[in-house]
Structure 1
């Protein structure tokens, strides 16, 4: 005895496909082109709805799962920006400290040569823009998908006396409003997913039962 049924023919309901029950989904900027369709087809094949209503509920599940993925991507992008800004600031601070040390050495040399404050002229100035460029470069490499480049960037950060794990932890602790909004949305979507999946499972259990005739 089984409650597994063969999928209904959409033509019985005047449809070409069950997916035509819902509006065509438009592309959203920021998504990987073409990724949704493969995701959709894989999940729908796994859920295997056999009636129009099951298809609608299954489509809801697909939409929720996809939205979960997108909110995780957006949250992670926000965290990467926070971490990147922290790395950039750390590099600028390091460059400024190196500049100040060099300036102190130049001053000491000036004094040793008999110079005074009246005839002192700083031999160089701090280029904050150049330091920021170096910071952004390191921050970019710190989120590289290339393992070697990423590892090298982490080593550079570690050499600056910054724990990469602390950077990540600080990003979570001081996350922006946008990041927190995504965290809240993820919790809401996970709750909705459980509810909709429960409804879908109930529909499947309520399917007509196919029985085999047993000859006595």
Structure 2
């Protein structure tokens, strides 16, 4: 059994999404100390921009594909296999410019370019989504409704791919570095603690479900 972990932050030091994801992974390892964790770090190693070739390649008979199409098809197929080879999932995604990081969208687009990628291919499996936002986007805030990443990611991971999805969220993470947000530091720390608590619980949950299904 294995855990697939995807990181999307372009930072290492100070990355709250990586920090909260570490808590999920630690909880997973507590239940499965010898199980591998397969990582894909899109923040540091984004995929090449070959979505157009992948889409056209999948619509072209194999013997008629250009080399670019063949390579893109092979990449998109391998990304699907990477997911299918895992038993549980961890996705750590920060909110960038009010939406999904472009390198995460590129990854999803390449997967959904394949005939298998738009089906509930992960149905019956469990995963954790770590969502991190620098500001506040909840009800009554000035930016309510500006988070266009969370709803999209939930839709794809849970509804399109079929995951039993658990979510750990932290926001106001820029309070400590943006002077105008200084008054929100206390709320930010509370949100961060809540995210870690949820991450620990979710990590244990998905680990227990994998064991029960084994």
Larger helix fraction of residues: 1
Structure (1 or 2) with the larger CA radius of gyration: 1
The normalised TM-score by structure 2 is 0.23
Higher relative contact order (CA 8 A, sep 6+): 1
Larger strand fraction of residues: 2
